[in-house]
Amino acid sequence: MKYKLSSFNYVLCCDDGSLRLYNSMYGANSLIAVDPGVRDEILSVLNGTAPIDGIPEYIKKELIKSGYIVPIDRDENYALKIKNIKTIMNEKYLQLVIMPTEQCNFRCRYCYETFEKPKMSISIQNAIIKYVQKNISNYMGLSVSWFGGEPLMALDVIEYLSENFLRICKAAKRVYMSGITTNGYDLTADIFKQLYKFKILSYQITLDGYRSQHDNQRILADGSGTFDRIVNNLIEIVIVVQMASVNNSEMLFGVFITA
């Protein structure tokens, strides 16, 4: 593999002849104190006057591990943007991925679920609410992703938890955001409007290609196809959004179509 120097390298030459290296992309984990014995060798690589491939393999490995040299095709600016977004989200928002049920009305041919666990019990729901209540003040907000199984098969769990999350965030003056991964089969316009009230604004729905391909893969438990109903639901939702029953500027739809 070919490598290049990172744009985020900082080198400090110390009075005792040693070097201190820092890479601002990797942060504190990148800090290296370089012994005077290999100082010139490393300095000439990092200032671009010697080729990267000219240094001993063990030094090269260390510089790769700490981010001073990176694969030649890495777009570091893009990587930095992603890192910043992740940092903001990780540090500032309490993020929960909640499976209201492991049950599903589909039996996709490639599914890895066992469908063993039923709907989330009320005691677990209350424990989650208690946890959010206790910790929300440490964050800027709460971000919830509904996942499954098929989460819409436990709509009452989504409703109960959402009502409480909204109440807690409002009282604590914190942001609340939420999204759902659903197979879309039960996502009628009415359910969509209900979910909108619970601030579920981001949707991930999968279509496995055109009707024939999709209906061969993403089938109901009785083996029948699901394409038409999902697409009809989506069309009805588009009409709801266009009629401005909801504020479409805050909606985010991702319909994943796999070939």
* Rg of the chain in Å (alpha carbons): 26
Look-up of token digits 């409703």? 159
Instruction: CB nearer to ligand SF4: give 46 or 120.
Output: 120
Question: Considering the complex, what minimum distance in angstroms separates the CB of residue 99 from ligand SF4?
Answer: 10
- Residue 37: exposed, middle, or buried by beta-carbon count in 10 A (0-12, 13-18, 19+)? exposed
> What CA–CA distance (Å, rounded) separates 51 from 42?
10
Question: Considering the complex, what minimum distance in angstroms separates the CB of residue 185 from ligand SF4?
Answer: 8
Decide: is 229 part of the binding site for ligand SF4 (CB under 6 A): no
> What CA–CA distance (Å, rounded) separates 216 from 224?
9
Interactions with ligand SF4, residue window 164-183 (CB under 6 A) = 183
Decide: is 92 part of the binding site for ligand SF4 (CB under 6 A): no
Decide: is 99 part of the binding site for ligand SF4 (CB under 6 A): no
Interactions with ligand SF4, residue window 181-210 (CB under 6 A) = 183
Residues that contact ligand SF4, how many (by CB under 6 A): 10
Instruction: CB nearer to ligand SF4: give 142 or 158.
Output: 158
> What CA–CA distance (Å, rounded) separates 97 from 178?
10
Q: How many angstroms separate the first and last alpha carbons of the chain?
A: 31
Decide: is 151 part of the binding site for ligand SF4 (CB under 6 A): no
Q: Which residues bind ligand SF4 (CB under 6 A)?
A: 104, 106-108, 111, 113, 148-150, 183
